Amino acid sequence: MEITNLRVDYHRNGIGGEGYAVAFFDANPDGEHGTFMAILWGDGNDPFTECAVLRTDQVAVLHARWVLAGPPEAIDHNGFDGAFPLGAWRSTDSFGPALFPAVKAALRERYERALGGGA
């Protein structure tokens, strides 16, 4: 899968907290182009070994539907796979092989540029 239009930033919770990355990107995992948001985290040895990915256009539509539906018992759960909305993916399996190296490369390039070593 090709990852394009990648925008990424790295964050850490507090002074000694675990780091994570947030990324927005375009891809077509199901044959239809979409824009996605991902949160990536690791296990301490590798900064990115897991990720959660949501398709941004579907999340926005479903979120609006939830807000307008009223109390939880009033929500029509058609179009949901268990507790996950349509925009949720088996993220690490579907996106990990392409997303992890792309995010690492983007962050490395950003830091090298900031330190005067990159293009």
Please, what sign has the CA dihedral across residues 113, 52, 35, 93?
positive
| Residue pLDDT, tens place only, 34-51 | 899 999 998 878 888 888
Strand (E) or helix (H) holding 114: helix 91-114
Residue whose C-alpha is closest to residue 58's, from 29, 100, 92, 20: 29
Higher-confidence position of 46 and 82: 46
Domain boundaries, the chain: 4-55+88-114
Closest C-alpha to 56, from 9, 22, 82: 22
Q: What string of H, E and C letters represents the secondary structure of 23-58? A: EEEEECCCCCCEEEEEEEECCCCCCCCEEEEEEHHH
Percentage of the chain modeled with pLDDT above 90: 29
